[in-house]
Amino acid sequence: MKRLLLLVSLLLTVPAQAGNLGAADEVMFGVDAKAPDYSQTSFKVQVGHMSGPNMPKSVASFSNGLFTIETPPKWVKKLQRKGRIDPDAEMDESGISSSQVISFDYHVQSPNIVYSLLYRDSEGDIQLASWSFLWAEDKAKAFKKAFLDWMTTTESSVHSQLP
């Protein structure tokens, strides 16, 4: 019994390990995250590249195998009026699966951390989506982990269902 307790205590104290590229797997250039909450699956983000503390927030989340970004209709209309979104475009916020992802990246455009996602939409057209975190380095790093977990989890569940 003591051995079991020792083993359990060792497992609980083992630090998280980076992948096969070590520190390069963990570091996000330009992002100083002190205490990311890696349990998050939903994040407030900004779309439309307008920053400010009072800007409406969209919600990026991972649920039921999908990644979604939902934006308040009022904010969509404002983006349309400003010419940032085609006024005739209909918003489809149904989400994407990991199999639709082509590439994923971020860059720091102080004070924002901007993510970019190249993917194929449900019609097969290539789309480039972007959103940002304003002065939220811990959130940006937690998002990266959630995104990579989603890519791994949904891909492995798809492969396990194949004959």
Query: What's the mean pLDDT when you consider all of the chain?
Result: 82
pLDDT the model gives residue 51: 57
Q: Which of 86-90, 121-125, 140-144 has the lowest mean pLDDT?
A: 86-90
Architecture of 44-49+56-154 per CATH? Roll (2.30)
Q: How confident is the model at residue 26 (pLDDT cuts 50, 70, 90)?
A: confident
Q: What is the mean pLDDT of residues 127-139?
A: 92
Of the candidates 58, 46, 61, the one whose C-alpha atom is nearest the C-alpha of residue 109 is 46
> What is this structure's pTM?
0.78
Q: Tell me: the pLDDT tens digits for 31-69?
A: 888 899 999 999 999 997 665 566 768 999 999 999 999
Q: Tell me: the pLDDT tens digits for 72-99?
A: 998 888 889 988 889 998 889 999 999 9
Q: Which amino acid is at 151?
A: M
Cα–Cα distances (Å) from 16 to 12, 19, 23, 38, 102, in that order, read 10, 10, 12, 12, 27
The pLDDT of residue 17 is above 80: no
Rounded to whole angstroms, the Cα distance separating 24 from 22 reads 5
Rounded to whole angstroms, the Cα distance separating 22 from 4 reads 30
pLDDT the model gives residue 50: 62
pLDDT the model gives residue 115: 95
The pLDDT of residue 150 is above 90: yes
Half-sphere exposure of residue 26: CA atoms within 13 angstroms, side-chain side: 13
Extract long-range pairs of 80-85: CB within 8 Å, 24+ residues apart.
82/48, 84/48, 84/49, 85/48
